[in-house]
Amino acid sequence: MAKLIHEVWETGDGCSMFRRDVKGWRENLKPPVRLLHTFEAESAYEAFNRYYQLMGWGEWKPLPGFLDEPYPD
């Protein structure tokens, strides 16, 4: 299983989480911006749960039909 790096950014609009390997999202952040946290996760499910815990929102509850699959190698 691949572990991908995720970043949590504070922006002028609030906070957002992104995978570091996805290109193009940083250009759309509205200033001011500040990197809050970086972590690794093996799936989107794990990443969203860690993001929710970091933000103090409790456990992330995915929408019905969400597939919890590990990131490909």
Q: What is the mean pLDDT of the chain?
A: 92
- Cα separations (Å) of 72 from 1, 6, 65? 6, 15, 19
The answer to whether the beta carbons of residues 12 and 31 sit under 8 Å apart is: yes
Arithmetic mean of pLDDT, 7-28: 90
- Return the pLDDT at 2: 92
pLDDT band at 7 (very low <50, low <70, confident <90, very high): very high
The answer to whether the beta carbons of residues 37 and 5 sit under 8 Å apart is: no
Q: What's 27's DSSP letter?
A: G
Question: What is the spatial distance between Cα 18 and Cα 38, in angstroms, rounded to a whole number?
Answer: 10
pLDDT band at 25 (very low <50, low <70, confident <90, very high): confident
pLDDT band at 40 (very low <50, low <70, confident <90, very high): very high
